[in-house]
Amino acid sequence: MTNNNKPDDRTETQQLRQRLLHTLDEGRPEAAAKRHKKGYRTARENLNDLCDVDSFVEYGQLAVAAQRGRIGKEELQTSTAADGVITGTATINSELHPDNCSAAVVVNDYSVLAGSQGYFHHLKLDRILTVAKEQQLPVVMFTEGGGGRPGDTDVNTQIAGLNILSFALWAELSGIAPRIAVNNGYCFAGNAALFGCADITIATETSWIGMAGPAMIEGGGLGSFKPTEIGPIDVQSKNGVVDIVVKDEAEATVMAKNVLSIFQGKLSEWSCADQNTLQQFLPEDRRYAYPVRKIIHTLADTDSFIELRATDGRGIVTGFIRIEGRPIGLIANDCKVLGGAIDSDASEKAARFIQLCNSYAIPLVSLCDTPGFMVGPDNEEAAAVRRMSRFFVAGAAIDVPLVTIFLRKGYGLGAMAMAGGSFAKPCYSASWPTGEFGGMGLEGAVNLGFKKELEAESDPQAKKALFDTLVEQLYDRGKATEAASFLEIDAVIDPQDSRKVIINAIQAASKKMQQASTRRFVDTW
């Protein structure tokens, strides 16, 4: 243990330094060693990795659990250091965003009473979240912990303790300040509620997240479960609870900083791939699928694509990119999943992402290639009418610039949803030369519209020839150039010009974006 006291220090100063030491890893070596043995980092190691050097201003560091009546003073200071949560303000990414790097930070400390939420713990949360709201500071929160704490015996002025403000204050920040939640390890009950309310959720492969932990589940008469049986990462990533899955706390911290940077604004330095390669990703045969993520990575600034919910609603890709250093929200159809058809899960995923970008004045780009919404009885059982309609509601509410680029198929209601609800909604809608348009997929339109003609042809080969001919006729009629000539879209563009078109269109509409929000951290353009 390091002694930082000087011979001429006053007694009070020496006592303060000793008291503060009890809250640090150096003063709690056994707790730190226990974390390291599990392969995890301490709360303060995560804190130091997240914040710029010497920028953290801590609130409530001397707090201890409300258990003075049952635990001795010295033990209380070390075993319940900071009452299990580190809170404060700091700068993050100041080297990238020197004028917009202030943030609030909350790091739950699992080494203190399993990261549980006690009386003073909640007061600390309330204080820092109030500061974040008043100063419009983005918040990064590490959420590991076991939920509410029943052992705070000093508190005699409440019954259930449900009149706390923490959850309401955290939820009230929605649309005011970006909230990024990071989890590693167990995250149950109140901690999980905080995690789930965040705008962006990041979790490690060793995360278990649930609205109730083992004790509460068993207490409710629902059986006995191990913590590792509740909300494992493979479940919570596929159902959309977790936006981004990473390997460990180190990667989680890097990702939190990368995501925060999107909300902090544009970067001065950037590079991109050769745009002449874009058109090579689409196969010559319009019936073949292609990897849309290769198009995204090529279109975006190098290494700027951050995908959200990769394994949930897989028919639509959502995430952040940069173009010329400027942050943009992106949605794209993945024709390798359901042929690009949009199902209920993908609709809700896209709707939530659109609302997120609109809340924080991040412009949107849509890469459309869809035959429309997924249909059929099974899809209706999944509440398709309600869930797909959310896509339209989100699009209608957009007041940030939206640019839609049609890569290939633009059919039916699904294509309209990808364009904000109408081809007239985007500030600019353009197609690659491979674009094709119609009220429904060509093959379906032929089967439905020419049913009598096809049924009248008894020879299978002749029927196929007729079908192919009718499809080709509809294709020629619905080509991108024809759609543009009827002014259903604004233009047909060379794929290599996509970046330039997007930037110019959004910049032309940027005044509208600035009017959408007065928050200082959204001046991204």
H helices present in 59-178, as ranges: 73-79, 119-135, 166-172
* CA nearest to 141, candidates 259, 318, 267, 311: 259
Taking the C-alpha atoms of residue 418 and residue 517, their distance in angstroms, rounded to an integer, is 23
Taking the C-alpha atoms of residue 391 and residue 47, their distance in angstroms, rounded to an integer, is 37
Using the 8-state DSSP alphabet, how is residue 342 labeled?
A: B
Q: Residues 518, 512: contact at Cβ < 8 Å?
A: no
DSSP 167-190: HHHHHHTTTTS-EEEEEEEEEETH
DSSP 469-521: HHHHHHHHHTBHHHHHHTTSSSEE--GGGHHHHHHHHHHHTHHHHHHH---GG
The pLDDT profile of the chain, 525 residues, written as one tens digit per residue, is 455 666 667 888 999 998 899 999 999 999 999 999 999 999 999 999 999 999 999 999 998 877 887 887 888 888 888 899 999 999 999 999 999 999 999 999 999 988 888 888 999 999 999 999 999 999 999 999 988 888 777 777 676 777 789 999 999 999 999 999 999 999 999 999 999 999 999 999 999 999 988 888 878 888 989 989 999 999 999 999 999 999 999 999 999 999 999 999 999 999 999 999 998 999 999 889 999 999 999 999 999 999 999 999 999 999 999 999 999 999 999 999 999 999 999 999 999 999 999 999 999 999 999 999 998 898 898 899 999 999 999 999 999 999 999 999 999 999 999 999 999 999 999 999 999 998 767 677 667 677 777 777 777 887 787 777 777 777 778 799 999 999 999 999 999 999 999 999 999 998 665 655 544 444 556
Taking the C-alpha atoms of residue 23 and residue 42, their distance in angstroms, rounded to an integer, is 12
Which helix (H) or strand (E) segment is 461 a member of?
helix 460-477
